[in-house]
Amino acid sequence: MAVADLIHVTDNDFAQEIEQHQGVAMVDFWATWCGPCQMVAPIVQQIAKEYDGKVKVAKLDVDENQHVTMRFNVRSIPSILFFKDGKHVETVVGAVPKAYLVEKLARHLP
């Protein structure tokens, strides 16, 4: 299920899709029951479209993927984690405006 360049990752393919990705990746840790997650979802989709080809944008359901969630110590959702060349470089917790996420992305783009 992909929208533009938005992909859904799981415990099984997280390493391959995100940690082996060369470049910048942004992963939205979310859950279906989380209200603030639903507020951030359209922003994440817009960023996926606008940065198609420049940033890999992914979503990870924390209820279905506990291993990766615990590995990155995600305790509050939504949490948006930024990766550069497979390394975790930054985390944003909570429903934040699009401009805030774009600013964070800009720090890691060439």
The residue behind tokens 């606008």 is 50
Set 9, 18, 26, 34: catalytic member: 34
Cα 28 from Cα 61, distance rounded (Å): 8
Query: For residues 84 and 24, is the Cβ–Cβ distance under 8 A?
Result: yes
Q: How far is CA 95 from CA 14, 18, 52, in A?
A: 23, 22, 22
28 catalytic? Reply is no
Set 25, 37, 43, 47: catalytic member: 37
53 catalytic? Reply is no
- Phi/psi at 92 (5° precision): -120, 125
Cα 14 from Cα 54, distance rounded (Å): 19
Residues marked as catalytic: 34, 37
